[in-house]
Amino acid sequence: MARVTPKTLTWVRQTGTDAAIRVPTGKRCSLAPPSTAAAFVSCAFAPREARLVPRAFSPAEAVEIMRQAGVEPLEPYVNSSAPWKGCCLRCEREVTPRLTNVRQGHAACGYCAGTMVDPNDAVAVMRAVGLEPLIDYPGSGKPWRSRCENCDAEVTPRYSNVVGGSGGCRRCADKKNADALRLDKHAAEAEMRAAGLEPLEAYPGSNRAWRCRCTTCQDEVSPRLQDVRRAQGTGCRSCAAKNVGASQRLDSASAAQFMIAARLEPLEPYPGAGKPWACRCLSCGLPVNPRYTNIKQGWGGCRSCAGLRSSKRQRGDEGAAIESMRAAGLEPLEPYKSVMTPWRAQCTRCGREVSPMLNNVRKGHGCGWCAKNRVDPDKAAAHMRAAGLVPLADYPGRHAPWPCQCERCGKVVAPRLGSVAQGGGCRYCNDTAIDPEHAAAVIRGAGVEPLVAYPGSTTPWKCRCARCQREVTPCYGTVQQGSGGCRWCRDSGFKPGSPAVVYLISNPELQAVKVGVTDRSGIRLRRHAAKGWKVLVTEDVPGEIALEIEEDILTWWRTDLGLRPYLTNHHMPQGGWTETVSEDSIDMAATIIRIRSQARQKD
């Protein structure tokens, strides 16, 4: 980059004329003077029409430049950037350099410069290393499919790697390296025998399992020679573990002396640091079985003595305990035992006898009667009677079910006193539970006869219509709301005897799919469309067939695929959420084909 100091620069134009263009003084520019044969003009401060403008060469000038570079052109000159076929005057090979590259100092002949390889020379190099090429020379940096003459394997080395000395066949190279590193079998057997192992098979290699027999324990083992070297002569795991245990084993006399210092008298020889050791506690005289390692870590050897020490630490001073009880309004009626033992006392406020634990008293608890955590059984029974419930058993507690009989309906219920105190009572009278007999009477009033016991208000109830004798499954809740018992005979809603439409719709936002039936008016579909649902398929069929198709699809989804309703009434205020599934859980195309095929078969 030359520093431009004149106020003007002469730019070379494609027309061959010179034009003076002013540029700021002191700016850098890559422009060469016009007197030289520069191929391009490029400057960040030059106008757009003056940038990257090639200088035109006459054919005679171009031929002279190529001859000076050692190449005789074999075809007319086209332009400076096009490949120009010529013959190298040195090696007499045909080359195609570009005049632009030659002007920039590049070699005109790639063969003489060593940047190009003659295919015949490349084949000779490959054969020299034992590789027979199977395809034409692809280039120095590309895999060249060949066959190794040594192992007859097909390999794909690169010519550049072969020339660089990397070798051609990786398998042969690995084998050569392995043979160079391979230990003599006699030396390997000597190392194994020195480690106390007698080989039972030929030496397989340092990193492979070698079947041997331990000369110490006579067990058959399969160590690797490199593992034996790393372990410094221990090839049998069993013997190695015994050696480690023996080196770490404590002297019996030292162990017994340590146990006596811990107020424990051994009754048997030292069994090991981690095994129970029969001893006698020198403090209480009880037999114990501590472990040496636990005593070494500071544990107590006698649980009885440890419990007494802990109890003494937690018990504290008796005078302080009595003061804590009196401060809570409780006068002790018996001697103090411990913080976790119920302590019989009398409340100085209500006069009742209670038995709190000192630990709870110190946490802020006291008399359960005064805190209203306990209820007098007589007052509890009076409270239940005031709610219209006659107790049938003794008071079980505030939060336990209490069997009672409702004075209004005569049914036996089991409410909790806490629930009754908050306004609860008989669940039948409060309409929170349905009497099965009452439900059966309601369902019979809708013209259907129950076939099974009452399943619940929202569960389909298997029944038989008294008018058409069809088997139907209405819900008690919908019948009570006036929907009718038999979907075939009811006067309101969808009428199976009229022309109908069975449809499949989807909601991309909710990622849900719904199947349903409607009449020919299309009002139902318009309501769904207003909520973002898109129609996938519709089939005009009689109402009875529409119901059968809908029932078949729902049975397929719910029973065969095990899919539950995907949406709730919150997502579909217009209704129909019970016939929805997730869009990702079904095969959409299979569902559409199933609806269409059934519509055509039953039509």
Chain segment 184-223, per-residue pLDDT in tens: 888 889 988 988 899 999 988 888 899 999 998 899 999 9
pTM: 0.32
Task: Kindly state whether residues 35 and 7 are assigned to the same domain.
Answer: yes
Task: Kindly state whether residues 504 and 573 are assigned to the same domain.
Answer: yes
pLDDT at residue 277, as a whole number = 93
Q: Which of 32-46, 65-79, 349-363, 584-598 is predicted with the least confidence, judged by mean pLDDT?
A: 32-46
68-84: average pLDDT: 89
> Would you place residue 11 in the very low, low, confident or very high pLDDT band (cuts 50, 70, 90)?
very low
Q: Is the pLDDT of residue 10 over 50?
A: no
> Would you place residue 491 in the very low, low, confident or very high pLDDT band (cuts 50, 70, 90)?
low
Listed residues 215, 231, 246: the one ending a domain: 246
Question: Reading across the β-sheet that carries 471-472, which strands appear in turn?
Answer: 448-450, 463-465, 471-472
73-82: average pLDDT: 88
Q: Is the pLDDT of residue 311 over 90?
A: no
Task: Kindly state whether residues 465 and 509 are assigned to the same domain.
Answer: no
Contacts of 553-562 with CB under 8 Å at 24 or more apart are 553/504, 553/515, 553/591, 553/594, 553/595, 554/515, 554/579, 556/594, 557/581, 557/586, 561/585, 561/586
Q: Is residue 392 part of a domain?
A: yes
Q: Is residue 430 part of a domain?
A: no
pLDDT at residue 167, as a whole number = 66
Q: What is the DSSP string of 106-159?
A: --S-HHHHTSS--HHHHHHHHHHTTEEESS----TTSB--EEETTT--EE--BH
For residue 14 the two structure tokens come to: 């494609």
What is the Cα Rg of the chain in Å? 51
**Do the Cβ atoms of 601 and 555 come closer than 8 Å?**
no
Task: Kindly state whether residues 186 and 242 are assigned to the same domain.
Answer: yes
Please report, for residues 181, 198, 208, the alpha-carbon distance to residue 226 in angstroms, rounded to integers and kept in the order given: 13, 16, 9
Q: Is residue 563 part of a domain?
A: yes
**pLDDT tens sequence across 421-454:** 888 888 888 767 888 888 899 889 888 999 999 9
Range of the domain at 472: 436-480
Q: Which of 209-218, 233-242, 341-350 is predicted with the least confidence, judged by mean pLDDT?
A: 233-242
Produce one character per residue of 10-38: b if its CB has 16 or more CB atoms within 10 Å, e if not: ebbeeeeeeeeeebeeeeebebeeeeeeb
pLDDT at residue 163, as a whole number = 82
Q: Is the pLDDT of residue 13 over 70?
A: no
Q: Is residue 416 part of a domain?
A: yes
211-237: average pLDDT: 85
β-pair partners for 332: 345
Q: Is residue 427 part of a domain?
A: no
Cα angle vertex 234, ends 232, 235, to 5°? 125
Q: What is the mean pLDDT of the chain?
A: 82
Task: Kindly state whether residues 204 and 238 are assigned to the same domain.
Answer: yes
Task: Kindly state whether residues 170 and 142 are assigned to the same domain.
Answer: yes
DSSP state of 249: P
Q: Is residue 54 part of a domain?
A: no
Task: Kindly state whether residues 25 and 73 are assigned to the same domain.
Answer: no
pLDDT at residue 499, as a whole number = 87
Q: Is residue 303 part of a domain?
A: yes
Q: Is residue 429 part of a domain?
A: no
Task: Kindly state whether residues 508 and 597 are assigned to the same domain.
Answer: yes
Task: Kindly state whether residues 519 and 568 are assigned to the same domain.
Answer: yes
CA distance 152 to 454: 82
pLDDT at residue 32, as a whole number = 40
Task: Kindly state whether residues 33 and 64 are assigned to the same domain.
Answer: no
Task: Kindly state whether residues 448 and 413 are assigned to the same domain.
Answer: no
Greatest C-alpha distance within the chain: 131
pLDDT at residue 603, as a whole number = 63
Task: Kindly state whether residues 520 and 598 are assigned to the same domain.
Answer: yes
| Domain total in the chain | 9
**pLDDT tens sequence across 509-538:** 999 999 999 888 888 899 999 999 999 999
